[in-house]
Copies of this chain bind each other. A is one copy, B any other.
Amino acid sequence: MTVLTQEKTAIQNNLPPSNSREKAREFVKTLQDQICQGLEAVDGKAKFHEDNWQREEGGGGRTRVISDGGVFEQGGVNFSEVWGDTLPPSILVQRPEAAGHGFYATGTSMVLHPKNPYVPTVHLNYRYFEAGPVWWFGGGADLTPYYGFEEDAIHFHQTLKQACDKHHPEYYPAFKRWCDEYFYLKHRQEARGIGGIFFDYLDDRGILYGGSDHNGLAHQYSEKVGQVSHSWEDLFNFAQSCGNAFLPSYIPIVERRNSMEYGDRERQFQLYRRGRYVEFNLVYDRGTIFGLQTNGRTESILMSLPPLTRWEYGYKPEAGSVEAKLTEYFLQSRDWA
């Protein structure tokens, strides 16, 4: 094999396979199925209600919602596959090479709001993009407890870390940090939760961490923590490992916490803290903002918002209380794994 042939083979390895869209779609669609099955099993009472929808500009989706369950007060798992003539400007800023090309995007996203304040809210999203000469994977999962438990935070992070470590030792530390930076409410100077992993624009350039500007409106690569060059297949396998790690990362926490007794104090604190979730999703979350501003399916996008929420001017938990410990200890960036 000549040097030229070797180089050519390496480049070809980094190109998506001819059936890349089908493979990515089947992955996220199957992920939706598996997650819904696992959640129904642990919920024990409610079933997902499914809405199929079409997008006028191209594509459509399968929105599944669960409510009034044994565990889940409200939640949704949304699969979508969309295509069109041009990506929104927000994405083109990150991927100028995609300008002037049509795009394809598929993904599954999920937010669950449990009834019991001891069971944490959880979010997951895995997605795949193609546009002209570029393609990338993005996604992650993160946990938002109302009452913190060390063993839950450790279990959640360790499960995700194991999924990452199978592919590269730099993945978990980079994507854990990115998650902490992304899910941050600047106006509250507070993390949304205890984190997890988050990655975006992951492709054969292998940039593991790009820094975040915390405002959700633009994302500039400001820093490179590491470079790990992987092929399309490698990254596809990695995204699958992450997706498959969700149920094992979350279900044991539900099983530990859902039977814990709670009263009005815990419920009121949960409703108050849910307000932070609303603030993050509507003020900072890229997917939400650009979905709303680019004629996305509003009901599927805002499925992430909680069933019941409250705001209270000037609320502060009592010093030394378990409620105070949430922000003072658990929502600080920590090495849980």
Contact = CB atoms under 8 A, between A and B. Distances in A.
A106 to B, nearest CB: 21
Interface in A264-301: 271, 275, 278-279, 282-283, 289, 292-293, 296, 298-299, 301
Interface in A67-101: 67, 74, 76
Nearest to A316: B299
A314 B50 CA distance: 11
A36 interface: no
A312 interface: yes
Interface string A293-319: 100101101110111111111100000
Number of copies of this kind of chain in the complex: 2
Interface residues of A, number: 35
A187 interface: yes
A51 interface: yes
A117 to B, nearest CB: 16
A23 interface: no
Contacts of A311: 74, 302, 305-307, 309
A275 B296 CA distance: 18
Nearest to A217: B217
Given A278-B278, A282-B282, A305-B311, 20 more contacts: A51-B314, A67-B312, A74-B312, A76-B313, A186-B292, A187-B296, A188-B298, A215-B293, A275-B305, A278-B282, A282-B283, A283-B289, A283-B292, A299-B313, A303-B313, A306-B310, A307-B310, A308-B308, A308-B309, A309-B310
